[in-house]
Structure 1
Amino acid sequence: MRIGITPDDEYIKTEKVPGPTKEEIRTIVLSKLHIQEDDTIVDVGCGTGGLTVEFAKRCKKVYSIDVNVDAINTTKANLEKFNLSSNVEVLEEDGASALEHIDGFTRVMIGGSGGNLKDIIRIGYDKLPVGGRLVTTSIVLETATDSVEVLKELGASVEVVTLNVSRGIILKRGVMMKALNPITIVSATKV
């Protein structure tokens, strides 16, 4: 099994589901979650399953959640492709309601919320053990702002970083750097 990050072009994709989360962003998310082998992770808004795949390679148990049936099917296809289905439970459900009935998780990743971000953060943070980690990723500034606001209200130790990744395109006369969308990552430790 490959330990490094799976390249973007190896994932099964569909036009109906954005993603996967870009390779460089997945790398930083893994770092911000402080993942350990015995962790149980909830991946809310799993999309194509890019992060779910990375979590499944590294953790004891993963719950992968999305309300979009196309996202669920794409995530399942990617897990099967990489032979990583054994420790992952894929749930077609709203993030907040799923978190209500999942117990024992140590990490929460929120990449999509269906407009229910604040409730998802509150429920996820409440159920984390002390020292547990919660991370959100956002393209929209308001999502990052809402994440920080709620986590501060909850008394979490919060960190914010915005990533601006550019990838080189090889041309005849040189390398042109092409920017990807900036992504803001909000991470918190439960205190």
Structure 2
Amino acid sequence: MLEDMDFIKSCDVPGPTKEAIRAIILYKSDVKDSENVVDVGCGTGGITCEFAQRAKHVTSIDINPEAIEMTQKNLDKFDLGDNVTLICNDGAEALKDIEDIDIAIVGGSGKQLENILELIDSKLNSKGRIIVTAILVDTKVEAINKLKELNYNPNIMEVNISKGRVLDRGIMMMSENPIAIISAKKR
């Protein structure tokens, strides 16, 4: 796993997804080195970098040009990227041109989550997996409902990682990146 502190960050681009969250996403994805991954809403590229080390190919999408630039900088920093395609475009628009998806990670949808999930479903291989990360309650409900409508059996895990900070009088636990991880396999 890549360490959080090693990523290049920007106050204008979300991310990277915290290391413990990335580890859970990797575990839930059950990624193989023969699989193609799509990362919608890649931000600074934390998830992209992790999957680039493990998958056959990663396609990372973000509408924000600064996010694509940050993802490229992080790929370069970790000497990754030979198997990564970066696309600066709206997630739904970019997905129209992508085929052969084994795993789709949706971390940003620009208010188009239902449309994005429909597109992913139409391009997902027979044993494909979808993982949606969500902070807003509304996004969690929307993702679960859409996945059920598409005939998936979604699972949701609320994750709240806390790290300890040693003080003079004890240890204070500080929460980092509370997030829901919704995972579903194609039936």
Q: In the alignment, which residue of structure 2 is the partner of 1:167?
A: 163
Give the SS at the match of 2:101.
Answer: coil
Give the SS at the match of 1:63.
Answer: strand
Q: CA deviation at 1:188?
A: 0.6
Alignment root-mean-square deviation, CA: 0.8
Q: Aligned pairs, how many? A: 187
Instruction: Say whether the 8 Å CA contact 2:18–2:177 is kept in structure 1.
Output: no
Structure 1 moving runs of 4+ over 6 Å? none
Alignment of 1:84-103 (within 5 A): 84-103=80-99
CA distance in 2, matches of 1:173, 1:39: 49
Q: TM-score, normalised by structure 1?
A: 0.96
Give the SS at the match of 2:2.
Answer: coil
- Is 1:42 the counterpart of 2:38 in the alignment? yes
CA distance in 1, matches of 2:153, 2:130: 10
Q: CA deviation at 1:107?
A: 0.5
Deviations 1:86-106 (A, max 9, x none): 000000011111111111121
Deviations 1:66-100 (A, max 9, x none): 00011000000000111111000000011111111
Q: CA deviation at 1:157?
A: 2.0
Q: Which of 119, 132, 136 is 2:132 aligned to?
A: 136
Q: TM-score, normalised by structure 2?
A: 0.98
Q: Which of 57, 61, 67 is 1:65 aligned to?
A: 61
Identity %: 44
Q: In the alignment, which residue of structure 2 is the partner of 1:149?
A: 145
Q: In the alignment, which residue of structure 2 is the partner of 1:82?
A: 78
Give the SS at the match of 1:90.
Answer: strand
Listed as ranges, the gaps of 5+ residues in structure 2 are: none
Q: In the alignment, which residue of structure 2 is the partner of 1:54?
A: 50
CA distance in 2, matches of 1:35, 1:173: 43
| Structure with a larger share of its residues in strand | 2
Q: In the alignment, which residue of structure 2 is the partner of 1:180?
A: 176
Listed as ranges, the gaps of 5+ residues in structure 1 are: none
